[in-house]
Amino acid sequence: MNRRTFLQGATFLTGALILPSAGALAAPDAQPFSYDALIARAQKMAGAAYVPPLMPAPAVVQQINYARHGELVFRTQKALFSGQPDTGKEQGYPLEFFPLGMYAPKRVQMFLVEDGMASEIRYTPDLFDMPDDNPARQLPPDAGFAGFRLQEWYQADDWVRQDWVAFQGASYFRAIGADGQYGLSARGIVLNAASALPEEFPDFREFYIAQEPGSTPDTPVTVCALLDGPSVTGAYRFRMTRGLDRSKGVIMEIEAKVFLRADVERLGLVPLTSMFWFGEYGKGRMQDWRPEVHDSDGLAMWTGAGERIWRPLNNPDETRISAFADENPRGFGLLQRDRTFDHFLDGVFYDRRPSLWVEPITPLGMGAIELMEIPTDDEINDNIGAFWVPEGPALKGTTYDLHYRLHWLSDEPFPATNIARAIATRIGRGGQPGHVRPPNVHHFAVEFDRPSVMTQIPYGVFPKVVASASAGAISRTFSEPVPNGNVWRGNFDLEVSPGTVVDLRMYLELDGKPLTETWLYQFEAN
């Protein structure tokens, strides 16, 4: 999916919660609001027919292309919770809004929640700086917004320039990590991705945003959202914590109640979405001048049985789904482990992109973590997905209760301390250097690092490489230290027929015990 066009999914729920009109940014009249009431509404909607969204002034909106949309700048002095006198709101995380545009054409309703009462936040064109010739000047007075974002705490020096969380398009949202950079996204739900049916993109159609009076930078911002689509409805509650200590990244505690109004072929819960073009391996290395291009370089899993697994990402020739069956996994995430600028050499700072880890609070039960890899020939496409697929068919009338945390950090929040982690995957011709290289033999070199573990290996001792393959034959297994003293490399050759797709598994072992996490990889022999 194009990283710029995925915004097309945002929609407007007609006839949902009608509040009296007012000329002010937040309407003076309000109605009672609670998360429980939102759940009840979502459940009632699941029993009714889906109402297609209303798109305001589509002929005008289609003229607001990527460049013209970029000209529309929210006036930060009008942000709610900015502490600015003309907003009438106290200090907090300033709240700003995204305007409609070609890639975000559907109106999303916004509400401010105070003391259990919800007031609609009204669109007015004077909220935005816009050139005189921008088509947005032709939008109707009730055009509405496409999404919202929260700026850094109003006392921070860069609050005007730096936002830390954004919701825009379908059920997509994202946050910055400890290095202050956006990268991958999360979604509310995934329906029929990489299936025989067209993928469906349900929408967060209403947002209810609350910041407690007298809150501090460590006080969570609470956002409730109403999800709606042809096959699903739902209510979500986000408690999002930023804080002034930016090394802690962003943490979101999420509760959700999801109701299926139709059968779904592939249901993906707690989904993550990212981009991988190529890394230190892969065909893209000859298509671009940069050494690596990716928002994430691997899927990390912590199984219910306690095994730590690392699966480097691929950019395949055709869409592939890999399923990792489990019961009550302790967590999983799409991580950016490579943090060396020289490995990217790019001013968009791929080395600073956040890692995103899912921590289930309520056990997920039986099911599988599924990894979706879609071909891409450029970095503008989100071609990676990871999500939980519960066991059993996803049938009309089924309800799903979710409670989990998302950690937007530089690294996973619960790293293992007693085993080393994989930090690089390298692939080349097999056979022994200095000899005739045999055909259809490929060499794999996987590097593992964790100083507290790897530096404890006695001098002259070489860990055992434990490797297996679903097809072909493995040979020449050996381990070797990399000269810096912390990193060890596990090596093996794989002989396999061209065109074969092989699932590989490997780890290093010392004295009969795992020394590293388990490295998994899906290799297509070409």
Would the pLDDT of 391 be above 90?
A: yes
Please tell me the distance from the alpha carbon of residue 294 to that of residue 199, in angstroms, as a whole number.
24
Domains of the chain: 6-409 (2.70.98.10), 421-524 (2.60.40.10)
Residue 1 near residue 159 (C-beta atoms within 8 A): no
AA letter at 215: S
Burial class of 18 by CB neighbour count within 10 A (0 to 12, 13 to 18, 19+): exposed
Terminal Cα-to-Cα distance of the chain (whole angstroms): 26
**7 backbone dihedrals φ, ψ, rounded to 5°:** -65, -10
Q: What is the DSSP track for 236-298?
A: EEEEEE--S-GGG-EEEEEEEEEEESS-BSSEEEEEEEE-EEE-SSSGGGGTSSSS-EES--E
Please tell me the distance from the alpha carbon of residue 363 to that of residue 372, in angstroms, as a whole number.
23
492, β-bridge pairs: 444
- Ranges 19-28, 265-274, 408-417, 451-460: which has the least confidence: 19-28
**Does an H or E element contain 147, and which?**
strand 147-151
Would the pLDDT of 5 be above 50?
A: no
Burial class of 203 by CB neighbour count within 10 A (0 to 12, 13 to 18, 19+): buried
Would the pLDDT of 26 be above 90?
A: no
Residue 416 near residue 422 (C-beta atoms within 8 A): no
Q: What percentage of the chain reaches a pLDDT higher than 70?
A: 92
pLDDT (tens digit per residue) in 231-242: 999 999 999 999
Residue 298 near residue 447 (C-beta atoms within 8 A): no
What's the pTM value of the predicted model, to 2 decimals?
Answer: 0.92
Please tell me the distance from the alpha carbon of residue 6 to that of residue 174, in angstroms, as a whole number.
13
DSSP SS3 for 308: strand
Q: What is the reported pLDDT for 434?
A: 82
For the chain, the residue count is: 526
- Ranges 173-187, 208-222, 266-280: which has the least confidence: 208-222
Tokens of 72: 């529309």
Please tell me the distance from the alpha carbon of residue 269 to that of residue 359, in angstroms, as a whole number.
13
Please tell me the distance from the alpha carbon of residue 106 to that of residue 128, in angstroms, as a whole number.
18
- Look up tokens 């942000």; give the residue: 79
Tokens of 135: 């088509």
Would the pLDDT of 37 be above 90?
A: yes
AA letter at 470: S
Q: What is the reported pLDDT for 27?
A: 59
Burial class of 296 by CB neighbour count within 10 A (0 to 12, 13 to 18, 19+): buried
| Average pLDDT, integer, range 361-374 | 98
- Ranges 16-20, 292-296, 509-513: which has the least confidence: 16-20
pLDDT (tens digit per residue) in 380-389: 999 999 999 9
pLDDT (tens digit per residue) in 442-495: 999 999 999 888 888 998 999 999 999 999 999 999 999 998 768 999 999 999
| Average pLDDT, integer, range 283-292 | 82
Residue 260 near residue 397 (C-beta atoms within 8 A): yes
Please tell me the distance from the alpha carbon of residue 407 to that of residue 355, in angstroms, as a whole number.
8
Please tell me the distance from the alpha carbon of residue 264 to that of residue 393, in angstroms, as a whole number.
8
Q: How much is the mean pLDDT over the chain? A: 90
pLDDT (tens digit per residue) in 54-68: 788 999 999 999 999
- Look up tokens 């919202």; give the residue: 148
Q: Within its chain, how far is the Cα of 87 from the centroid? A: 33
